[in-house]
Chain A
Amino acid sequence: MSAHLVLQDIAIRYATKTIVEDISFALNEGEIGCLLGPSGCGKTTLLRTIAGFEHPAHGTITLRGNEVASPSERVPPEKRRVGMVFQDYALFPHLTIEQNIAFGLNKQSKAEQQQRVDALLSLINLPHTKKRYPHQLSGGQQQRIALARALAPEPDILLLDEPFSNLDVELREHLAHDVRQLIKTEKVTAILVTHDQQEAFATSDKIALLNDGKLVQWGSASELYDQPNSVFSAEFIGQGALIEGAIKKDNNGINNLHTEVGNLSIPEHIAHTISNDSAKLLIRPDRIAVSNSETDISVTLIKKSFRGGHYLCSLETSNKQLLTALLPAQNIPEPGTQLFVTVSLSNTTPIIC
């Protein structure tokens, strides 16, 4: 399967200010990608560059094998065959829902347009809104119409700019799932921008984690969660605590990381980046369990907050190292008490800094 969308070494600059730099990734046909990052990391600018509203100062964008943006080539948005769902939906207020969805379908006959509109409306479960105007619809409904409008001309790629940010929290999770289903049904390649990792996890196959204009990590949700490649990845995604460790070479020349909660060997593929003798290890809250054996790691419970069924606990080791643990609600003592815990280090990758 050849890559459907390829970004190669993209840099975007406004005047002298660099917004993003060194961005390269490739998305396969039918995959849903996600640009994830804190606000101001350049993710929306990157999406707008793929759409054609911004132009890269450096690098190339290839869509379905055609170069759409490069220093020498600049295909305008209206010729790019992208479908875009905007943050505030940007439905045309003067057109009915039906007319909104049919807006991009001018190359087909009226009957074909009608058919496509009806098909999409029933797909998004809003066939009764056909003759209404956008302002008569709720936010969630408008969002789905915006999606249908973008999908109607069967774009080569669907771009979604923070599509859930204007919705209620409860609605978001529900819709994120629906949107993924819809995109998969339509078999369209899509890229979504969000600052919310839950949204990213719920919708995407691949995630590009951006920070400060740089691509920090590219991978699937579980890769990002389990194997963060940097302190930023570790801290941005999920909860957990970073603990310090010392690198020591063993007799076989293999690098080992020694930490208070256990030791593990540093895999070959990252060993070459070692520059000094310390590294960090991310411990997820679910990796920590209470044990009854006094030979295990001894910690002090600093504070606990109830999460329904579980307590999220702050633990301190004897070396003043802080850990976060999600522990079953039964038998959690009061803060100040000493506990013994075990930490599972399987599928955990050290972070070299």
Chain B
Amino acid sequence: MASPSSNTTHLTASKTPNILGRVRSKFASSNLFIIFLFSTIALLALPVLTVFSFIFEPAGDVWNHLVDTVLSDYLTNSLLLLLGVAVGTLSMGITTAWLTSMYDFPGRRAIEWALLLPLAMPAYIIAYTYTGLLDFAGPVQTYLRDLFGWQYGDYWFPEIRSLFGAICMLSLVLYPYIYLLARASFLGQSVVTMEAARTLGAGPWKRFFRVALPMARPAIVAGTSLALMETLADYGTVQYFGVSTFTTGIFRTWFGLGDQGAAAQLAAMLLGFVLMLILLERYSRKQAQYHQQSSRYSIHKRETIVGIKGLVASFLSVMPIVLGFLIPFILLAQWALGETIDAEFLVLAWNSLTLAFSASLLALTLAIVLGYGQRIFPTNSVKAGVRIATLGYAVPGTVIAVGIIIPLAWIDNTIDAWAIKTFDVGTGLLFSGSLFILLFAYLVRFLAVALGSVESGLQAIKPSMDDSARSLGFKPFQVLRKVHLPIIRPSLFTALLLVFVDVLKELPATLILRPFNFNTLAVRAYELASDEQLASAAPAAITIVLTGLIPVILLNRSINKSTLDNHQ
């Protein structure tokens, strides 16, 4: 078993006479753990590093072709999409966060938690629901035509399947990131700070713009960068709406033009954007520490607003829920009720379920290894390694898929060639097109989610607890089993659940990496919707949404609990 006392940093601090003997006997096992830790990290970092390495690849013909033709489209569309989603999510997120944290108005309590509901709605699902609602044959336009006697071409109606439509769809499901972080920041801001501003003569507008907003800025920037990472990662919505962005471009270059190198170079460019967002997010979180103030001495009191003002507040904060959740959900439910559950659906559900469950179990196991590894070897190299291994959370599924296929195909081919040379029998492709690489992709993408829960659980356990268990004669891994794991059981459960739901919703990586003829709920819902069979896609879609509600409810509970804690 590994022992921190064998770690060199601990060695120098230790003064026990027989420490050297003990260290020698444990040196081997502890080294083994370190090797295991770093090989896990290396494996998880492989896809991102692979894609990254293509930045330095010399440009091929296809790449030059891309540069001449579509690259500027990808770039403009992606940038416009980012800009639009930033504006959309910021305006919705900040308005709702400010209203619900500072004021009391009719329905505030219900609205406060319902504002998180759109988190359960994957963007590609809301996109096709709104298409069904708003396109030419949809109920809205049909109704308008019947009402005014219009014919095709008589009237103008906004085209939902457009860049603007994509911006709206993504904003509607991504604003909760900003809402959540901004609200936590507004509520966490010391009430006293606002009171100080009042005693210095600041009215409500000055208090918002000069105090509350700048103080919440790091949180808001962090929320925005999360929302924008999701925007960059989106494949389903932009593909469905026919907007050419990096993700659809990678897909097209890979499968349409058949050039893996150029696809990987596109992926590398996309990764560049993502990395900027990651750095922005990390930086903001660091800044946020300084902006945090204790609110020990005063209880947050909301100002009650009534009458017209109250109704305006209710309306403003209820709209994102109606548009981002209620309307698409009701529509999906209607469509789903018209469908029958057949054997195909059950197979899809089973596939999704087993896949999601295996992925979440694997992710949890690795998260415990990395989380506890960091705890018993708190060296900079381990910490940096874990950060790199969990970069995947921000990396679009398409990029991860590209980063996985390329090295594994190389391994497959090498093994095959070696087998042919040695045994005269080829092994074929061992990994490519197997469930293994799909699980691997999920791990790369979602390990950070599991690690986040595990880490927050572990952080709640004081280091003195480890020390006392060790001093009572337990080895580090016995301590993990007997002390940490039982204490952090709720965090472990949360980790499992979050990864489960994320895997269930995941679309682009599954689309690229799934074995031939293997379908999941997400893939099938997307395929049916692309074939304009919107209603047939509904049962799968609504299953995904309903499952997605579970973590939203959990999130709500933990928020309520922490606010209660703050108020004693």
| Residue-wise interface mask of B (172-200) relative to A, using a CB-CB cutoff of 8 A (1 in contact, 0 not) | 00000000000000000010110111111
Asked whether A340 is an interface residue with its Cβ less than 8 Å from the other chain, the reply is no
Min CB gap A88→B, angstroms: 6
Beta-carbon contact of A90 and B190 below 8 Å: yes
Beta-carbon contact of A106 and B195 below 8 Å: no
Partner of A88, one of B199, B200, B291, B293: B293
Beta-carbon contact of A78 and B199 below 8 Å: yes
Beta-carbon contact of A104 and B190 below 8 Å: no
Interface-side segment among A16-24, A79-87, A194-202, A341-349: A79-87
Chain B residues in 8 Å Cβ range of A155: 199
Partner of A83, one of B195, B199, B210, B296: B199
Beta-carbon contact of B196 and A153 below 8 Å: no
**Size class of the A contact interface (CB-based, 8 Å):** 20 to 34
| Residue-wise interface mask of A (88-115) relative to B, using a CB-CB cutoff of 8 A (1 in contact, 0 not) | 1011111100000001101000000000
Asked whether B516 is an interface residue with its Cβ less than 8 Å from the other chain, the reply is no
Given the contacts A53-B195, A88-B192, A88-B297, A153 and B291 also touching, CB distance less than 8 Å: no
Beta-carbon contact of B200 and A103 below 8 Å: yes
Chain B residues in 8 Å Cβ range of A82: 199
Q: Which of B199, B290, B297 has the most CB of A within 10 A?
A: B199
Min CB gap B222→A, angstroms: 15
Chain A residues in 8 Å Cβ range of B193: 90, 92-93
User: Please, which residue of chain A has its CB at the minimum distance from the CB of B294?
Assistant: A88
Min CB gap A323→B, angstroms: 40
Asked whether A76 is an interface residue with its Cβ less than 8 Å from the other chain, the reply is yes
User: Please, which residue of chain B has its CB at the minimum distance from the CB of A82?
Assistant: B199
| Residue-wise interface mask of A (57-84) relative to B, using a CB-CB cutoff of 8 A (1 in contact, 0 not) | 0000000000000000000111111111
Asked whether B415 is an interface residue with its Cβ less than 8 Å from the other chain, the reply is no
Cross-chain pair count, CB within 8 angstroms: 79
A144 CA to B195 CA, complexed, in Å: 18
Chain A residues in 8 Å Cβ range of B291: 93-94
Beta-carbon contact of B290 and A150 below 8 Å: no
Partner of B197, one of A79, A80, A103, A159: A103
User: Please, which residue of chain B has its CB at the minimum distance from the CB of A81?
Assistant: B201
Beta-carbon contact of B214 and A86 below 8 Å: no
A150 CA to B197 CA, complexed, in Å: 10
A296 CA to B406 CA, complexed, in Å: 104
Asked whether A116 is an interface residue with its Cβ less than 8 Å from the other chain, the reply is no
A76 CA to B195 CA, complexed, in Å: 11
Given the contacts A103-B200, A104-B201, A90 and B296 also touching, CB distance less than 8 Å: no
Chain A residues in 8 Å Cβ range of B296: 88
Asked whether B215 is an interface residue with its Cβ less than 8 Å from the other chain, the reply is yes
Chain A residues in 8 Å Cβ range of B26: none
A103 CA to B198 CA, complexed, in Å: 11
Q: Which of B192, B195, B200 has the most CB of A within 10 A?
A: B200
Min CB gap B517→A, angstroms: 56
Partner of A90, one of B196, B201, B203, B290: B196
Chain A 24-64 residues near chain B, CB threshold 8 A: 51-53
Asked whether A284 is an interface residue with its Cβ less than 8 Å from the other chain, the reply is no
A71 CA to B392 CA, complexed, in Å: 61
Beta-carbon contact of A51 and B199 below 8 Å: yes
Beta-carbon contact of B290 and A133 below 8 Å: yes
Beta-carbon contact of A135 and B297 below 8 Å: no
Asked whether B479 is an interface residue with its Cβ less than 8 Å from the other chain, the reply is no
A195 CA to B195 CA, complexed, in Å: 22
Beta-carbon contact of B199 and A103 below 8 Å: no
Asked whether B211 is an interface residue with its Cβ less than 8 Å from the other chain, the reply is yes
| Residue-wise interface mask of A (127-140) relative to B, using a CB-CB cutoff of 8 A (1 in contact, 0 not) | 00000010100000
Chain A residues in 8 Å Cβ range of B293: 88, 90, 93
Asked whether A280 is an interface residue with its Cβ less than 8 Å from the other chain, the reply is no
Min CB gap B294→A, angstroms: 6
Chain A residues in 8 Å Cβ range of B475: none
User: Please, which residue of chain A has its CB at the minimum distance from the CB of B291?
Assistant: A93
Beta-carbon contact of B297 and A87 below 8 Å: yes
User: Please, which residue of chain A has its CB at the minimum distance from the CB of B189?
Assistant: A93
Asked whether A206 is an interface residue with its Cβ less than 8 Å from the other chain, the reply is no
Q: Which residue numbers of B lie inside 8 Å of A, CB to CB?
A: 190, 192-193, 195-203, 210-211, 214-215, 217, 290-294, 296-297
Contacts A92-B196, A133-B290 given; 8 further ones with Cβ under 8 A?
Answer: A51-B199, A78-B203, A79-B201, A87-B192, A93-B291, A93-B293, A94-B215, A150-B200
